[in-house]
Structure 1
């Protein structure tokens, strides 16, 4: 007859074995999700770098939660794609000759999350270069980008706006 401690030890061993199998079986699925996320993000930024941001924003959920970190002129939280685009890209389109074009330096992926480090370049309406460095942290659900936190040099952005935006009465 087995003692209680022997049965407990066997039960604990079984639980640990099953837990190990569970983790092992999730690893390939987790890795597959990461590969899928990486491929999609790379594809979207490749199009963006060629001047077509539409594929990227087609994958942004209408109810995205987009945060621009810091204390620059665009900082804040936006709770829809429309609110984000109106407040940021709409405003930038008035001070830049063309869209900011990204050059991806690094993509780091963990499951449904991607961190994209990139440099962006454009030209102001006054002909001055606008260059900045960005890090976007993306959270995806399937092929939908549902949350973004953006980091960049807010001082460069604020200088762009100060130099190019018309003030009332000008």
Structure 2
């Protein structure tokens, strides 16, 4: 309580500071909460889910690197996919079809080769998977398309139910604006 009185006298009342000091003065009950949360994260079931999700994403990226389209089996039909940034493709797509038609196809239809991902890291934390990778392809005009990506997946029952994508949207848009779509 001496800490609280000294802080209050020097700095005046501050609600966040008062809450922190109240927790500290009561014997650190927050520590018990943090330890309980850490124990739950490291539980065998949680670790198994984490390993399974990482293995699913890793296998999908390996298949994708080999030229196989993997998104139909990796994404839940009602996936919510957000592309962060600014530009015509940035925004939130509310299902797999919407994402493919409005965000993926405008780019991939202007590529002669599939994007070849080069994975740098796959991080797993429970049902969240973070993938950092580079992607390269050849455009319909013969130019090289290169981009860097960070995707954050939230998974449920082995499928991506929520995704956030960070990439160079200028590079994306240049391909869309400067290359004719392949004839179907």
Q: Normalized against structure 2, the TM-score is what?
A: 0.73
What are structure 2's unaligned runs of at least 5 residues?
A: 1-31
Counterpart check, 1:113 vs 2:128? yes
Aligned-pair CA distance for 1:91: 1.2
**Is the 8 Å Cα contact of residues 72 and 157 (structure 1) preserved in structure 2?**
no
Matched with 2:59 is: 43
2: distance between equivalents of 1:80 and 1:24?
31
Aligned-pair CA distance for 1:128: 0.3
Counterpart check, 1:73 vs 2:88? yes
2: distance between equivalents of 1:24 and 1:106?
25
Matched with 2:15 is: none
**Is the 8 Å Cα contact of residues 66 and 149 (structure 1) preserved in structure 2?**
yes
2: distance between equivalents of 1:33 and 1:25?
10
Aligned-pair CA distance for 1:50: 0.5
Q: Normalized against structure 1, the TM-score is what?
A: 0.79
Aligned length: 147
SS in 2 for 1:158: helix
Counterpart check, 1:87 vs 2:97? no
Q: Judging changes above 3 Å, is the alpha-carbon distance between structure 1 residues 147 and 25 closer, same or farther for their aligned structure 2 residues?
A: closer
Please provide the CA RMSD for this pair.
2.1
